[in-house]
């Protein structure tokens, strides 16, 4: 038996460099309004744009057999803000601190995330391979480090304990649209056929900061989806109204 001790200090001081194999094209142009977990907004559709040596059909041989994929990615949108050992999880109302490694906070020692998305189809062009996905919770331009198939028998552990996040978040809000917003949706129907559903699925999650949830305020909020600024306002504890939809350009 080899009883030689491992030099943990040396291992912990190692650094590793990774190159992105793809980038994400997503309707989410800013962190605000991105759902806190994947799969909550099925109308959120995006694309995985393979790049460099990974833009090769051979890397994807057989991937069409899987309905869902794991994406390993970089939290590039919050990278510059660094990290702290304690964070305030939204599921706890933003009031209680937990260790960052006991949460899915974006502010991590290494800004790496993982997300499950639905694989809708593949466009295997010779010049550019694109994976079309849905249910994503990723910022536009997110760098992808790796893609792995989701395997239900090992990845879906129904008896697992998840602490303060054991149950799915409740969707308590209903969404209505102003007369102006309904007209604007009609004008955008051809360009964004599922825009209304996307807005509804995002807003029922109440994307406001955790400390404001279950409270009514009269602030007019804005969120950017695609190239559009969607303005909305709380009407009551259970209802939100979309006021205006306008181009960001």
Instruction: Please check whether residues 142 and 176 belong to one and the same domain.
Output: no
Q: What is the CATH number of the domain that holds 59?
A: 2.40.30.70
Instruction: Please check whether residues 63 and 174 belong to one and the same domain.
Output: no
**CA distance linking residue 101 with residue 35, whole number of Å:** 20
Number of domains in the chain: 2
Q: Identify the pLDDT of residue 6.
A: 41
CA-nearest of 192, 191, 201 to 242 is 201
Q: What is the CATH number of the domain that holds 174?
A: 3.30.2310.10
Enter the tokens of residue 102.
């006991």
Instruction: Please check whether residues 23 and 137 belong to one and the same domain.
Output: yes
Task: For tokens 């142009």, name the residue.
Answer: 29
In a domain, 102, yes or no: no
Instruction: Please check whether residues 221 and 124 belong to one and the same domain.
Output: no
Element holding 129 (H helix, E strand)? strand 129-134
Query: What are the tens digits of pLDDT across the range 61-107?
Result: 999 999 999 999 999 988 888 898 998 887 777 778 999 999 888 89
Q: What is the residue-averaged pLDDT of the chain?
A: 89
Is the model's pLDDT at 9 over the cut of 50? Answer: no
Domain end, chosen from 127, 162, 197, is at 162
**What residue numbers bound the domain in which 212 lies?**
169-247
Beta-carbon neighbour count of residue 182 at 10 Å? Answer: 13
DSSP state of 79: G
Query: What are the tens digits of pLDDT across the range 117-144?
Result: 999 999 977 789 999 999 999 999 999 9
**CA distance linking residue 86 with residue 100, whole number of Å:** 5
90's CB contacts (< 8 A; 6+ apart) are 36, 209, 210, 213
DSSP secondary structure string, 173-240? -EEEE-HHHHHHHHHTTTT-TTHHHHHHHHHTT--S-GGGTT-----EEEEEETTEEEEEEEEETTEE
Query: What are the tens digits of pLDDT across the range 10-41?
Result: 445 678 899 999 999 999 999 999 988 888 89
Is the model's pLDDT at 188 over the cut of 90? Answer: yes
**CA distance linking residue 233 with residue 88, whole number of Å:** 25
Residues 84-112 as b/e (b if ≥16 CB within 10 A, e otherwise) read: eeebbbbbeeeeeebebeebbbbbbeebe
In a domain, 13, yes or no: no
**CA distance linking residue 204 with residue 239, whole number of Å:** 9
Instruction: Please check whether residues 176 and 216 belong to one and the same domain.
Output: yes
CA-nearest of 183, 203, 194 to 246 is 183
Beta-carbon neighbour count of residue 139 at 10 Å? Answer: 19
Beta-carbon neighbour count of residue 142 at 10 Å? Answer: 25
Domain end, chosen from 99, 131, 162, is at 162
Instruction: Please check whether residues 25 and 121 belong to one and the same domain.
Output: yes
Instruction: Please check whether residues 214 and 194 belong to one and the same domain.
Output: yes
Query: What are the tens digits of pLDDT across the range 196-236?
Result: 999 999 999 888 887 787 777 889 999 999 999 999 999 99
Domain end, chosen from 145, 162, 179, is at 162
Instruction: Please check whether residues 133 and 230 belong to one and the same domain.
Output: no
**CA distance linking residue 83 with residue 111, whole number of Å:** 9
In a domain, 203, yes or no: yes
């Amino acid at each position: 038996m080899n009883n030689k001790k491992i030099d943990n200090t040396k291992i912990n001081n190692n650094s590793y460099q990774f190159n992105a194999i793809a980038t994400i094209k997503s309707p989410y142009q800013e962190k605000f309004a991105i759902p806190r977990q994947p799969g909550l907004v099925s109308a959120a559709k995006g694309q995985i744009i393979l790049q460099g040596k990974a833009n090769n059909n051979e890397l994807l041989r057989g991937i069409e057999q899987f309905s869902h994929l794991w994406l390993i990615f970089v939290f590039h949108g919050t990278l510059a803000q660094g990290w702290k050992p304690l964070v305030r999880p939204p599921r706890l109302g933003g009031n209680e601190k937990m260790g960052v490694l006991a949460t899915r906070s974006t502010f991590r020692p290494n800004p790496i995330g993982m997300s499950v998305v639905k694989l809708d189809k593949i466009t295997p062009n010779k010049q550019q391979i694109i994976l079309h996905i849905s249910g994503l919770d990723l910022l536009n331009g997110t760098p992808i480090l790796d893609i792995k198939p989701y395997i239900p028998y090992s990845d879906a552990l129904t008896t697992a304990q998840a602490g303060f996040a054991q149950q799915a978040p409740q969707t308590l809000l209903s969404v209505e649209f102003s007369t102006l917003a309904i007209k604007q949706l009609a004008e955008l129907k051809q360009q964004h056929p599922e825009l209304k559903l996307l807005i509804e699925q995002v807003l029922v999650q109440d994307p406001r900061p955790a400390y404001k949830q279950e409270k009514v305020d009269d602030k007019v909020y804005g969120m950017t989806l695609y190239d559009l600024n969607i303005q909305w306002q709380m009407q009551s504890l259970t209802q939100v109204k979309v006021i205006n939809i306008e181009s960001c350009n």
